[in-house]
Amino acid sequence: MSIDNYINELFDRMHADGVLPPYLYNAKKKTFDPERDWMYYSGPVWTEDEPRAAVKAFLTGKWLVAGEHCAKFEREFSKMFGFESSLMVNSGSSANLIMISALKKHLDWGDGDEVIVSPVGFPTTIAPLVQNNLTPVFTDIVFEDLNFDLEKVEAAITEKTKAIFISPVLGNPPDFDKLKEISEKYDIELVLDGCDSLGSKWKGKELSEYAIATSCSFYPAHHITTGEGGMVSSNDKDLISLARSFAWWGRDCYCVGSANLSKKGACGNRFDKWLDGYEGKIDHKYYFSNMGYNVKPLDLQGALGLEQLKKIEDIHVKRRENKEKAESIFKEVLGDMVHIPGELDHAETSWFGVPIVCNKNK
Ligand SMILES: Cc1ncc(COP(=O)(O)O)c(C=O)c1O
């Protein structure tokens, strides 16, 4: 019997016995009992496709660690969002850490160089800056969209400023034309923490098109989920090779899978005489040129990601509809006691959540 048949049998029996994973059980439920049922503000949007794909990847994989499914997910993700290259890691926090580590080395940023950030965001947008001996410079926000005030961003630029690290609040983009204008005027980079904004657009373009590099999170509350998981993406392939090195123990060589088997490896340096000043031969695969980490995902997370990508268009539409529904309910019930930020004129937000600001004195 093929593995697919075993998996079909497993799911058939689970259905027959009414034993379903909670995310499928909740999705199938058509009634809501406010006395008993929990209402989750978010969660995985999965059908049976995801657990089936994960079980199959787990049972058939040669290595359980990042392998062919992760590599395919990286390629498909890049194709879908218009990147030259992507690297899957084990979380959005790791994606930020690896992205900032790679950018610092790639662009020759020094200790103490400054990166402008917003105080309204997630801790692991900021932590990688401190971990890399960079200085986060906080600029205040505007209530209109809860993103940083772009006038204040410009005023905060000094000769030490290397980048503006944008993390659109709940996926809602600030004015990316203005950000681009500032970055070009002062010759600094735009870096995107896109963990909350996958699929959000500015003037019809992906937000990542404006940035040198973009991170993404696949934690269950996010647009697509692999349980834990994250991605670093860019149009600069060298930056992603460097990011891969940081994520894979600091290893210099990028040969994996069949690339290992070609003579000298795909990198051209395996078992060769290539190290300046050293006469003997060295295997490049065991040469470590960066102070690295190990933040690789499991291959079954790649399999989950591939299934989730097929649903991203629907998820985008649903998230926009849900924001509208929730907003009208809150407005009806709470009136002017609350202000619910909306999108700017040129934004098309793939809402990560519904922002609610309580009006003072109401
Ligand atoms: C803006 C932002 N950046 C980074 C992260 C971290 O992602 P993860 O939970 O996958 O580590 C989050 C998590 O929600 C986030 O909202």
CATH of 55-251+290-309, one of 3.40.640.10, 3.40.50.2300, 3.30.930.10, 3.50.50.60: 3.40.640.10
- Crossing angle of the two packed helices 92-106 and 237-247, in degrees rounded to 10: 120
Quote the DSSP letter at residue 282: B
Structure confidence at residue 26 (pLDDT): 66
**Residue ranges for the chain with pLDDT beneath 50:** none
Structure confidence at residue 314 (pLDDT): 96
Q: Where are the domains of the chain?
A: 1-39, 55-251+290-309, 258-287
- Whether residue 353 has its Cβ less than 6 Å from ligand 1: no
Centre of ligand 1 from the C-alpha of residue 39, in Å: 22
Beta strand pairing call for 338-339 and 357-358: antiparallel
Structure confidence at residue 255 (pLDDT): 86
Structure confidence at residue 27 (pLDDT): 66
Structure confidence at residue 362 (pLDDT): 67
- Distance separating alpha carbons of residues 168 and 158, to the nearest angstrom: 23
Helix (H) or strand (E) holding 326: helix 312-334
DSSP three-state, residue 318: helix
- Whether residue 122 has its Cβ less than 6 Å from ligand 1: yes
Alpha carbons within 13 angstroms on the beta-carbon side of residue 340 total 17
Centre of ligand 1 from the C-alpha of residue 4, in Å: 34
DSSP three-state, residue 59: helix
- Whether residue 232 has its Cβ less than 6 Å from ligand 1: no
Amino acid identity of residue 48, one-letter, is E
Burial of 223 (0-12, 13-18, 19+ CB in 10 A): buried
Which residues are designated catalytic? 222
Centre of ligand 1 from the C-alpha of residue 357, in Å: 21
